[in-house]
Amino acid sequence: MGLNVIALGGNAILDKIPTDEGQKGVVRKVASDIIEFIELGEQVVICHGNGPQVGNLLIQQKAGDSEKTPMMKLDSNVAMTEGSIGYWIQQAIQNELQKRNMHKNVVSVITQVEVDANDPSFETPTKPIGPFYTSEEAKRKMANGDGLYQEDSGRGYRKVIASPKPKRIIEKEAILSLVDAGIITICVGGGGIPVAKNALGEFEGVEAVIDKDLSANHLAKEINADRLIILTGVDNIYINYNQPNQKKLEKLTIGEAKQYIQEDQFPPGSMLPKVESAIDFVQESRKREAVITSIENLSNIVEGFGTRIVC
C-alpha cells in the first residue's frame, strides 16, 4: 500500500454550476473515484484548490459591504472556503464509505501554512483576485492603503496579491498523526491559510494566496508520501498543445520535463506549476513518482494511466 497526496483543483470543483449543490455534485463523483482508489489498497491525503470559490465569496461580500457587515480579510476568506470545501469532500467520502460498507474515518483539517514575510512576491504582487472595480474605485482603494489594483483584460480593475512559496505546514504533526492512524485526511485546502510571524513571534494571516500544487508538493515531502497525484482537466499533459503536431506525454524523466519547460511548452498559469511541483517532489528520491491526470482517471493510476514524472 502506498501513501498518496492527491491535489484536486478548485476549478475542477466549480465546473459548470456555481451553486453549492452544483459543486457538491462534482465532489460526490470525486469521492466515488477516491474510494475506488482506496479499495485498491492505497492510502490518501487530499488537498484541494479554492481559487474560484474565494473569488465568488469576495464578490458576495462586496455586494453586502457596509459598516456593520464589512468585507473580511483574505486570510479569513481562504479559511472559510477551506472549511466549506473540506466539509463537502468529507461528507461525500463518508456517504460513499457507508454505501460500500467500508469502516474508515475521514476528517478535514483547517491548515495554516507559514510563508516568509520577506518573500519577493510581496514586493511585486501579480495574482488577480476577487471582484472588478472601476478605475475611480480602484484609485480610491489604493489611496486608502488597500493594496494594489491593476486593470485586468479590459474588464475592470482587480486587486493583485502576492503568491509566496510555502515554508512550513503548521499542523504537520497533527496531519501525520491522522495519517499514521489510517484516517482519510483532507488538509492544506486552497494551498493553506497563509500566515507569517509578526514582531512578537506570533502567527498572523497575510494578504496572499499560496499555489495549491506547491503546497501539496510540500506536504507530500513532509509526510514522506510515495506518490503525488495532481488532478486536472485532462487525462495527460501534452507538448505542442492544440497544434497539428500535438503529442501526449505518458512518462517523463526530470530531464525531459525540464527541457519542455525551457521550450515554454507549459502555460505559466495552469500546467507549469503542476509540472514544477512534480519535478520537485520526485527529484529527492528514486522511490517517488508524480502523476498528472484527470479526476476520472484516478482509479486507473495504479495500472499506469496519466502522465508520470519519475526520477
User: What is the span of the domain harbouring residue 75?
Assistant: 3-116+169-310
Number of domains in the chain: 1
> Can you tell me the distance from the alpha carbon of 244 to that of 126, in angstroms, rounded to the nearest whole number?
33
Catalytic residue among 2, 22, 127, 141: 127
93: in domain: yes
CA 204 to chain centre: 21
CATH code, domain carrying 248: 3.40.1160.10
Beta bridge partners of 47: 7
Query: Tell me: the pLDDT tens digits for 123-151?
Result: 988 888 877 889 999 899 899 888 889 88
More confident residue, 131 or 251: 251
Catalytic residue among 4, 9, 10, 159: 10
Catalytic residue among 11, 56, 95, 300: 11
Those residues whose C-beta lies under 8 Å from the C-beta of residue 68, and which sit 6 or more positions away, are none
108: in domain: yes
Is position 127 annotated as part of the catalytic site?
yes
123: in domain: no
148: in domain: no
Is position 274 annotated as part of the catalytic site?
yes
More confident residue, 216 or 233: 216
Catalytic residue among 51, 86, 192, 212: 212
Mean pLDDT for 75-97 is 96
> Can you tell me the distance from the alpha carbon of 169 to that of 212, in angstroms, rounded to the nearest whole number?
13
Alpha-carbon distances of 266 from 85, 112, 262, 272, rounded to whole Å:
28, 29, 9, 5
Indicate the DSSP class of residue 208. B
Q: Tell me the pLDDT band of 269, cut-offs 50, 70 and 90.
A: low
Beta carbons of 179 and 43 less than 8 angstroms apart:
yes
Task: Show the cell assigned to 39.
Answer: 479499495
Beta carbons of 13 and 23 less than 8 angstroms apart:
yes
249: in domain: yes
Give the global pTM: 0.89
Catalytic residue among 159, 189, 236, 274: 274
Q: Tell me the pLDDT band of 59, cut-offs 50, 70 and 90.
A: confident
Is position 144 annotated as part of the catalytic site?
no
Q: What is the CA radius of gyration of the chain?
A: 20
149: in domain: no
The CB-side HSE value for 65 (13 A sphere, CA atoms) comes to: 11
Q: Looking at this protein, which amino acid is placed at residue 206?
A: V
Is position 212 annotated as part of the catalytic site?
yes
157: in domain: no
Query: Tell me: the pLDDT tens digits for 4-54?
Result: 999 998 877 887 788 889 889 889 989 999 999 999 899 999 999 988 888
